[in-house]
Amino acid sequence: MLTIISILLAILLILTGALLALSPGKPEPFRDENGNPLAGSISEKIHMEINGVEQGMFIKSKNSNNPVLLFVHGGPGMPEYWLTQRYPTGLEDHFTVVWWEQRGAGLSYSPDISAETMTAEQFISDTIEVTKYLRQRFGQEKIYLMGHSWGSYIGIQAAAREPELFHAYIGVGQISHQIQSEQLAHEYALEYYKQNGDSNMVEKLEAAPPTMTVPLPANYDALRDAYMHGAGIGTTRNMKSVVTGIFLPSWQFREYTLVEKVNLWRGKFYSRSDSFSLWNKMQVTDLTRQVTEFEIPVYFLHGKYDYTCAYPLAKGYFKKLDAPVKGFYTLEESAHSPMFEEPEKVRQILLEDVLTGTNDLADR
């Protein structure tokens, strides 16, 4: 027994040592051809008070004079900057990219955050306050706002509410009416697994249909990640498991400390808590009836295989939008995260259309 305990302790110490070695927690600077920090670049991890809560963000740019792009991540409660270690976006070549981690999530997790402040309205207000800080810090009258998944739910509302702060809004994996999206995803997956002869998954899906009321059935929620990633309609087209595709890689990210990695997952579960129902409120909100008029250009970038936020619904929502310029872009090889799956195509859209206020590359 003592030998077994000693072995287990040794394994635990080795794993802890390995995790600490993988967790220096310092952003790497951009470097020139001589290995020196690149002049005019910025690579930092900062914390600041936003609406009474300390919140963190990564700011990355090879030229801090470039246009500012605020990325509003998904979840709720799942920051995405750490994914760029595996899926580089190249956005920092052309923008000053701000990977803000929302209240209760990642760098911004704290057990002391009041549940009463974990509301969609508060997140919209936080988005606006972060924007005001960035305008002042970088001396830019307006910035670009990119919302992904849950981030598109709060981002599009912020853009409609305070258009004078933004050059344009970019929705990636844009939410429209999420509870309806769950129905379409279930239908798509059921047909997919039938065609592929996976009778086991077909049986599970038939026993766990989503409802049009919240909370969604527990058996459906328990199956959701597995069936979506198995069908190639989840986080990325090629990601088959959240364990191997998200959970394990998060522990390898070098710009978080070990404590910050733990908080990444504490924040994920905290932000999905039933006590304030961010997820449920988002599910039943029909943005196609609530947010349709804009004073700024609006762009939707959507993976063809995205049923996490269903592609057909996003196209339908887009048609209802009234904006001075608008463009819908189908990413043919992507599921829910085209900025990670087809980064070159996304950069082309941003540089040739979004920065010029046109829609020449948009679907016709």
Q: What are phi and psi of 286, to 5 degrees?
A: -100, 95
In-domain check, residue 258 = no
In-domain check, residue 345 = yes
In-domain check, residue 190 = no
Q: What residues have CB less than 8 Å from 264, skipping those under 6 apart?
A: 79, 82, 105, 106, 109, 250, 256
* Separation CA 38–CA 300 (nearest Å): 33
User: What residue has token string 């328990």?
Assistant: 222
User: What residue has token string 């980064």?
Assistant: 343
What pLDDT is attached to residue 195? 98
In angstroms, the first-to-last Cα distance of the chain is: 70
In-domain check, residue 233 = no
Number of domains in the chain: 1
Residue among 165, 189, 192, 144 at smallest CA distance from 298: 144
In-domain check, residue 202 = no
How does strand 326-331 pair with strand 53-61? Answer: unpaired
Q: What are phi and psi of 106, to 5 degrees?
A: 50, -125
Give me the helix-helix angle, 218-230 and 178-195, nearest 10°. 60
In-domain check, residue 58 = yes
What pLDDT is attached to residue 275? 76
Global confidence as pTM: 0.95
User: What is the chain's pLDDT, residue by residue, as a tens digit (364 residues)?
Assistant: 666 665 555 555 555 666 777 788 999 999 999 999 999 999 999 999 999 999 999 999 999 999 999 999 999 999 999 999 999 999 999 999 999 999 999 999 999 999 999 999 999 999 999 999 999 999 999 999 999 999 999 999 999 999 999 999 999 999 999 999 999 999 999 999 999 999 999 999 999 999 999 999 999 999 999 999 999 999 999 999 999 999 999 999 999 999 999 999 999 999 988 778 899 999 999 999 999 999 999 999 999 999 999 999 999 999 999 999 999 999 999 999 999 999 999 999 999 999 999 999 999 9
Pair of tokens at residue 151: 């981030």
**Cβ 68 vs Cβ 140: under 8 Å:** yes
Q: What are phi and psi of 205, to 5 degrees?
A: -65, -40
DSSP for 139-166 reads T-S-EEEEEETHHHHHHHHHHHH-GGGE
**Cβ 215 vs Cβ 326: under 8 Å:** no
- Sign of the CA dihedral running 127, 128, 133, 136: positive
Per the structure, the complete domain to which residue 345 belongs is given by: 42-178+278-354
In-domain check, residue 81 = yes
Distant-in-sequence contacts of 151-154, Cβ < 8 A, 24+ apart: 151/71, 151/72, 151/73, 151/74, 151/75, 151/102, 152/72, 152/74, 152/309, 153/120, 153/178, 153/282, 153/285, 153/287, 154/72, 154/120, 154/123, 154/124, 154/127
**Cβ 149 vs Cβ 176: under 8 Å:** no
CATH number of the CATH domain containing 149: 3.40.50.1820
**Cβ 265 vs Cβ 137: under 8 Å:** no
In-domain check, residue 71 = yes
